[in-house]
């Protein structure tokens, strides 16, 4: 049992190392945004210094392609981002900022 | 009907307003002497014409309005809210009514529409598979997802899988969960849900998300739990620029196979009901050092033996590690995905078929099994040529060790390459080839074509 746990821990550390080194070849897209870009984001909501648009691009394309804000109505986005909050384990603040951004991006 | 009443109300109010607006002028005008002057007549005429015009537009909107609103409400019903692309006219109507009619009418309408929000989502898929040693076949499925947001904190999500099979149709309940958002960092869920430690099943299985037509081996074959019936608590929180997410659950546990030589010692996660009072406890913790990169550790511990048998006290432990990377790279002019998970399970030492009555014992065994996959995908999202931007290449390695008894399926390793073409963010055409050679057996190489559409 202990040996198996050790193996798990070792593998987790290895993955952690790989994941941090990924940064070397891929620059985060959201951070490269110019001031003008983020100024155009209509969202008023921010969380941890990130706008709704940045939170959206950081979180919503981790698992699948993103669908444009125009694709759904406001009430539909409420339901979808509620659903996705449970999938993506984002916080309530992030959920609200992302919904706000999606509704305003139309 | 409601609408018609609303418009007539608006019209009546206008008439009253007009009367009120015009009567004081007459009363205050000292030159009238009980007669209507030309000026007054012209004023009244102009007002009447303006009113007639307004009534005409209202009538026209009344004719156009209900139809659009009807189609929209089939999809989602929400208070005061309208899908903008389909419902501009309706939105205008709302605005106009809001400015012209007294507020109570609008409020009454909101409460009549209700606060519940319903969305029918999901996907459809069609596939052709040609596998060495099996008859080639077409297949198709419809996977509706029902989402009800009863209040901003309470959500039901349920998914069905409906597919033609033999001469009939199979309908499976894939998940059905009621969840409650306790606060910004904690959510509770009860019902049938995707096992949080099985990252593929929870996140990548829908065919409009999975970049290859089939699933990796291992995710459904006795190494990892896949669908759990029980209760879970989950959420996430930031720590500086990094973040942590978690999901812990208690559920019906797996069943230990003890009757069959081939599968002895194997954990069967496909049974939704439990065989004893001991419940499985499991979970997963993920760490995101930078956006788009996550590493996770998952586990599940349970007593898989049947209650009242010699196997009842055995403990089973499943552990896994996973890595998910989704990053845009300027260097590679595109998006790179790397998804990997490796899991290993172990059941305490036991003697299977101790008296030989089943014909394969006594078989002393500490049952162990392991398996996993690693997939890498690349899509040139930063190229200027539309056609090339829509292509995505994907490569996957997956592996499953032999069945623990050594008498069943041998270990299997597969290599798969695929090429996808994205018609929309959730519509994809896939082609893939899989090299599949179980140890010591004939190859089961396969060719796939699949189309999937998420909605």
Spans of all domains in chain A: 44-106
Handedness of CA B239, B243, B249, B253 (dihedral sign): negative
What's the rounded mean pLDDT across residues A45-56? 86
The yes-or-no verdict on residue B15 having pLDDT over 60 is no
Do the domain assignments include residue B440? no
Q: Which residue of A has its CA nearest to B339?
A: A63
Mutate to test the interface with B, among A4, A56, A82 (most CBs of B within 10 A): A82
CATH topology of domain A44-106: Cytochrome Bc1 Complex; Chain D, domain 2 (1.10.760)
Long-range contacts of B328-331 (CB under 8 A, 24+ apart): B328/A26, B328/A27, B328/A28, B328/A29, B328/B381, B328/B382, B329/A25, B329/A26, B329/A27, B330/A27, B330/B382, B331/A25, B331/A26
Q: State the angle between helix axes of B2-28 and B88-100 in degrees (0 to 180), rounded to the nearest 10.
A: 40
Tell me, yes or no, if B184 comes closer than 8 A to chain A by beta carbon: yes
Whether the CB of A21 is below 8 Å from some CB of chain B: the reply is: no
Distance from CA of B165 to the nearest CA of A (A): 29
Residue B127 lies in a domain: no
Q: Distance (Å, rounded) from C-alpha A57 to C-alpha A51? A: 10
- Does a structural domain hold residue B154? yes
Q: How many CB atoms lie within 10 A of CB B268?
A: 14
Please indicate, yes or no, whether residues B93 and B146 belong to a single structural domain of this protein.
Answer: no
Cβ–Cβ gap A91/B236 under 8 Å: yes
Say which DSSP state A32 is in: G
Q: Are residues B198 and B49 in the same domain?
A: no
Nearest CA in chain A to B287: A16
pLDDT (0 to 100) of residue B34? 59
Q: Which of residues 101-130 of B touch A (CB under 8 A)?
A: 117-119, 121
pLDDT at B53: 79
Q: What is the pLDDT of residue B112?
A: 55
pLDDT digits (tens, 9 = 90+) for B277-333: 889 999 999 999 999 999 999 999 999 999 989 999 999 999 999 999 999 999 999
B327, β-bridge pairs? B336
Domain end position, chosen among B346, B369, B392: B369
| Domain of B349, in residue numbers | 137-369
Query: What share of chain B has pLDDT > 70, as a percent?
Result: 80
A83 pLDDT above the threshold of 90: yes
Contact call for A26 and B327, based on CB within 8 A: yes
| pLDDT at res. A15 | 53
Which of the residue ranges A27-31, B405-409, B434-438 would you say has the lowest mean pLDDT?
Answer: A27-31
Structure confidence at residue B85 as a pLDDT band (50, 70, 90): very low
The verdict on pTM exceeding 0.90 is no
| Of the candidates B121, B331, B116, the residue with the CA atom closest to the CA atom of residue B209 | B121
Residues B29 and B142 in one domain: no
Q: Is the pLDDT of residue B412 over 90?
A: yes
In this prediction, residue A7 has a pLDDT band, given cuts at 50, 70 and 90, of low
Using 50, 70 and 90 to split pLDDT, how confident is the model at B218?
Answer: confident
| Within a domain: B216 | yes
Tens of pLDDT along B99-147? 444 444 444 444 556 788 999 999 999 999 999 999 999 999 999 999 9
Best mutation target, B117, B182, B374, to test chain A (most A CBs within 10 A): B117
Give pLDDT, residue B2: 45
Residues B170 and B234 grouped into a single domain: yes
pLDDT in tens, B374-384: 999 999 999 99
**Residues 42-71, chain A: which have Cβ within 8 Å of B?**
48, 58-59, 61-68, 70
B453 interface with A at CB cutoff 8 Å: no
Rounded CA-CA distance B394/B211 in Å is 7
Whether B216 and B330 map to the same domain: the answer is: yes
Backbone angles phi, psi at B413, to 5 degrees: -130, 135
Q: Do B146 and B276 have their domain in common? A: yes
The interface predicted TM-score of the complex, written ipTM, equals 0.75
In a shared domain, residues B47 and B141: no
Residues of A in contact with B119 (CB under 8 A): 76, 79-80
Contact across the interface for A76 and B87, Cβ inside 8 Å: no
Q: Decide if pLDDT at A1 tops 80.
A: no
Q: Please indicate, yes or no, whether residues B31 and B142 belong to a single structural domain of this protein.
A: no
Beta-bridged to residue B228, according to DSSP, are: B193
| B147 and B95 fall within a common domain | no
Distance CA B232, CA B228 (A): 9
The per-residue pLDDT for A60 is: 95
Nearest to A28 among B117, B209, B291 (CB): B291
Q: For residue B50, what pLDDT band results from cuts at 50, 70 and 90?
A: confident
Residue B84: both structure tokens together: 């903008």
**What average pLDDT score do residues B216-223 get?**
87
Do the chains contact at B245 and A89, CB–CB below 8 Å?
Answer: yes
Residue B63: Cβ-neighbour burial (10 angstroms; 0-12, 13-18, 19+): exposed
Please list every residue in chain B whose beta carbon sits closer than 8 Å to the beta carbon of residue A91: 184-185, 235-238
Q: What percent of chain B has pLDDT over 90?
A: 68
B34 interfacial to chain A (CB closer than 8 Å)? no
Tally of domains in chain B: 2
Whether residue A12 is predicted with pLDDT greater than 60 in this model: the reply is no
- Quick one: pLDDT at residue B64? 58
> Given a cut of 70, is residue B402 above it in pLDDT?
yes
Q: Percent of chain A, pLDDT > 90?
A: 51
Kindly list the residues from chain A whose CB atom is less than 8 angstroms away from the CB atom of residue B344. 4, 7
- Binary contact (B426, A5; C-beta < 8 A): no
Whether pLDDT at B63 is above 50: yes
Does the pLDDT value for residue B163 go beyond 60?
Answer: yes
Question: How many interface pairs between A and B have CB atoms less than 8 angstroms apart?
Answer: 173
């Amino acid at each position: 049992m202990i040996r198996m746990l050790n193996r798990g821990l070792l593998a987790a550390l290895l993955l952690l190392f790989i994941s941090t080194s990924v940064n070397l070849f891929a620059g985060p897209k959201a951070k490269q945004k110019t001031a003008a870009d983020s100024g155009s984001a209509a969202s008023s909501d921010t969380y941890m210094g990130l706008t709704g648009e940045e939170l959206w691009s950081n979180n919503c394309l981790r698992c699948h392609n993103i669908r444009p804000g125009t694709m759904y109505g406001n009430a539909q986005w409420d339901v979808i981002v509620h659903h996705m909050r449970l999938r993506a384990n984002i916080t309530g603040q992030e959920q609200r900022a992302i919904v706000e951004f999606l509704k305003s991006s139309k | 009907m409601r609408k018609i009443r609303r418009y007539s109300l608006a019209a009546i109010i206008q008439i009253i307003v007009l009367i009120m607006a015009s009567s004081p002028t007459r009363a205050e005008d000292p030159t009238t002497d009980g007669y209507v002057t030309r000026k007054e007549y012209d004023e009244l005429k102009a007002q009447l014409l303006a009113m007639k015009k307004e009534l005409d537009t209202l009538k026209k909107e009344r004719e156009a309005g209900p139809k659009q609103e009807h189609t929209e409400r089939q999809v989602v019903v929400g208070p005061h809210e309208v899908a903008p692309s389909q419902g501009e006219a309706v939105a205008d109507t709302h605005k106009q009514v809001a400015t012209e009619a007294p507020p109570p009418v609008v409020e009454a309408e909101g409460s009549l529409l209700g606060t519940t929000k319903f969305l029918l989502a999901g996907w459809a898929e069609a596939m052709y598979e040609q596998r060495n040693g099996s008859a080639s076949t077409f297949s198709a499925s419809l996977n509706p997802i029902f989402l009800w947001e009863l209040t901003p904190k309470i959500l039901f999500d349920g998914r069905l899988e409906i597919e033609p099979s033999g001469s009939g149709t199979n309908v499976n309940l894939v998940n059905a969960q009621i969840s409650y958002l306790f606060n910004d960092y904690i959510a509770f869920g009860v019902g049938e849900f995707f096992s949080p430690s099985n990252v593929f099943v929870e996140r990548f299985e829908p065919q409009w998300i999975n970049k290859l037509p089939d699933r990796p081996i291992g995710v459904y074959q006795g190494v990892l739990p896949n669908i759990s019936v029980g209760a879970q608590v989950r959420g996430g929180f930031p720590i500086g620029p990094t973040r942590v997410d978690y999901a812990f659950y208690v559920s019906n546990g797996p069943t230990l196979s003890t009757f069959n030589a081939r599968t002895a010692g194997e954990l069967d996660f496909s049974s939704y009901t439990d065989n004893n009072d001991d419940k499985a406890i499991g979970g997963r913790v993920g760490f995101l050092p930078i956006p788009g990169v996550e590493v996770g550790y998952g586990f599940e511990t349970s007593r898989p033996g049947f209650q009242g048998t010699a196997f009842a006290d055995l403990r089973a432990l499943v552990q896994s590690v996973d890595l998910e990377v989704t990053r845009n790279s300027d260097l590679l002019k595109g998006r790179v995905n790397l998804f990997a998970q490796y899991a290993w399970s172990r059941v305490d030492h036991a003697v299977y078929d101790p008296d030989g009555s089943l014909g394969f014992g006594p078989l002393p065994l500490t049952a162990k099994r392991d398996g996993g996959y690693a997939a890498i995908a690349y899509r040139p999202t930063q190229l200027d040529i539309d056609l090339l931007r829509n292509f995505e290449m994907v490569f996957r390695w997956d592996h499953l060790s032999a069945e623990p008894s050594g008498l069943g399926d041998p270990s299997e390793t597969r290599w798969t390459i695929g090429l996808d073409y994205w018609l929309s963010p959730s519509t994809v055409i896939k082609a893939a080839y899989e090299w599949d050679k179980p140890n010591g057996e004939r190859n089961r190489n396969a060719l796939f074509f699949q189309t999937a559409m998420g909605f």
